Amino acid sequence: MNLFSLLQHLSEADTSASAPRRALLRQLGQAGARSLAAGLPLALGIAAPAQARTNDTVLDAITLLLKLEDLQVAFYSQALAAPTISSASFQADLTLLQTQQQNHASFLRQTLRDAGAAVPTLPTFDFSGQRGNAANPVLFPNVFTDVNSFLQLAQQLEDASAAIYKGQAPFLAGNRLLLDGVLRMHSVEARHAAHLRTLRRTISNARVKSWPSRADAAVSAAIQVPTQPATNPASTTSIYTAEANEVQIMSGSRLVPYATLLTGDKTVQSNALAEAFDEALTTSQATALLNIFG
Amino acid sequence: MNSPSLLDKPTDGKSWPRRTFLQAAGATAASAALLLAGCSDDPDPVPVDTTLLTLGANDIGLLNYAYLLEQLAAAFYQKVLDSPPADLQPGDLAFLNDLRDHEVIHRETLRFALDTQAIISVTFDFSTLNLSTRAGVLAAAKRLEDTGVAAYNGILRLVSDATHQSTLLKISSVEARHSAFIRDVLTPAAGTFATDVVVNASPLLSVAASLTPAQVITETAPFYLPLRVYTDSLPTA
């Protein structure tokens, strides 16, 4: 039996995205175009009150993802310019991460340009959480002067990045080529997130798995996003609150009965169900997160 | 239950019972038409391909494709846990159990989603893998996880139902973490979590490698033997 090597396949020309760039964007410029996946809130395992639904366009989604990628580029760039972080053993990883985030940002920015859409001004990102104002509290101390603090924030940003991509994917449903590109960028973000968690284990001796788990030790400086569904009065919560979800609902509003399915030889560990699925962050949560830093 | 062989012709001259015919073929409802074509009143049934496993079309086909791959992954980790290599290091069994649990959950979720349209539970053949050493297990795990991630990336955009797509996306995210994790275990000093599995495909930059169902099935064909998986009915665009 001749076993083809996976790398041989990977090196072959990828024909799935060979269409001209403009073909990717045909819906981007449509004024008022709506692309809402009605099933999304249920699939996330959260209730769907009216305020959790948004009417984001493809343009909104790409613009938000661009800001997310610009934030990550800035994060790694500032890290590589900081003596303490850039001299750490994982410097090569930071360079790789920065390059890939830059490539993602470049693609998203070019997507907007090609569609004739407004390309937002690049913000100045402040990863202390002070938003450039010394009067504001420092939410994330010593991010670029202490390796452990850096890695904590890096892990959260990469985990959040994967979750934000998931939250935006349904708004691209009408454009398969663009969706393909965005989802394949998402897949890379998930790899980044897993690796940052490996670094936290090996460098910081943190008790975390490579996937968000209820067994993870809590971070000392947590990114807080609006609670979903929204509460009255409004409240914030960790980006990991959604990851503890154990409810999965299939098409047709069919709740997966894990308690009866995962028995006998299908019994799993108590944290496995929440670990097995990476959850999404909503547009509201994503916007709030991005606004913390820029 | 003994599966009747199609070579065991009834001796009373009557045609092979339709229900038993289908049991012997292990067919899904979707491929029943192929088999029923050979099931007539003629006392000598036309031999049909009993080793063909069809996945179906549209979202059902894509879900069955994912279900097959999750069956493969769960069976792999279960086999390793049933006979772990003697040279595993501390902590290895813990993560192998985690990986196995995730795949079982993925598999059961997709089976539930597919309901009566799910393909059979496949018995896999891992004899081409060396699972007697830690290095062999990790190499196989890396290959399977990498393939699984590329498989999901090859089909996610094709799923029509938003709920199905969301579920597969959430699963695929964890599989990407698995792949990065195994690579980190294999090469802790040099980061390989996002190297050869991240590609440029103009105009896309630094995106996950993607394989078509045909490519994935070719890559994993030895594991399904004697079955052959039919992917031509799946959506491609």
A250-264, B12-26, B41-55, B130-144: which has the minimum mean pLDDT?
A: B12-26
The pLDDT score that the predictor gives to residue B49 is 78
CB within 8 A of A189, min separation 6: which ones?
Answer: A158, A161, A162, A165
CA atoms within 13 A on the CB side of A102: 9
pLDDT of residue A34 exceeding 90:
no
Q: How confident is the model at residue B237 (pLDDT cuts 50, 70, 90)?
A: confident
What is d(CA B149, CA B130) in angstroms, rounded to the nearest whole number? 22
Confidence band of A174 (pLDDT split at 50, 70, 90): confident
Taking residues A146-158, report their average pLDDT: 98
Instruction: Tell if the CB–CB gap between B207 and A185 is shorter than 8 Å.
Output: yes
- Is residue A58 over pLDDT 60? yes
Model confidence at A25, in pLDDT bands (50, 70, 90)?
low
Nearest to A7 among B98, B166, B196 (CB): B196
**Burial per residue of B147-162, b for 16 or more beta-carbon CB atoms within 10 angstroms, e otherwise:** bbbbbbbbbbbbbebb
The pLDDT score that the predictor gives to residue B41 is: 60
Cβ separation of B101 and A269 shorter than 8 Å? yes
Give the residue ranges of DSSP H helices in chain B: 18-25, 32-36, 58-82, 92-114, 134-155, 162-186, 213-224
Percent of chain B at pLDDT exceeding 90: 76
Q: Looking at residue B42, what is its pLDDT?
A: 59
A34 contacts: CB under 8 Å, gap ≥ 6: A55, A57
How confident is the model at residue B16, as a pLDDT?
Answer: 41
Question: Environment class of residue A276 by beta-carbon count within 10 Å: exposed (0-12), middle (13-18) or buried (19+)?
Answer: buried
Residue entry with tokens 């069994």: B93
Asked if the model's pLDDT at residue B18 lies above 60, the reply is no
Kindly state the average pLDDT of the residues A201-211: 98
Looking at per-residue pLDDT, the higher value among A114 and B29 belongs to A114
Strand-strand pairing, A236-238 and A224-226: antiparallel
For A253, nearest residue in chain B (alpha carbons) = B163
Of A16, A292, A251, nearest to A156 by C-alpha is: A292
- Indicate the pLDDT class of residue A246, thresholds 50, 70 and 90: very high
The pTM score is 0.84
- Kindly state whether B114 is in contact with chain A, defined as any CB-CB distance less than 8 angstroms: no
CA pair distance B169, A280, nearest whole angstrom: 10
Chain A, nearest residue to B102 by Cα: A276
- Residue B190, pLDDT score: 82
> Which residues of chain B make contact with A1, given a CB cutoff of 8 A?
128, 221-222
Is residue B191 very low, low, confident or very high in pLDDT (cuts 50, 70, 90)? confident
Would you state the structure tokens that stand for residue A18, as one six-digit string? 């060979």
Q: How far is the CA of B210 from the CAs of A4, A15, A176, in angstroms?
A: 15, 10, 14
Distance of CA A107 to the CA centre of its chain: 17
Contact B174 A190 (CB under 8 A): yes
- Both tokens of residue A166? 């998931």
Mean pLDDT across the stretch A127-154?
97
For chain A, percent of residues with pLDDT exceeding 90: 80
Question: Which pLDDT score, from 0 to 100, does residue B39 have?
Answer: 52
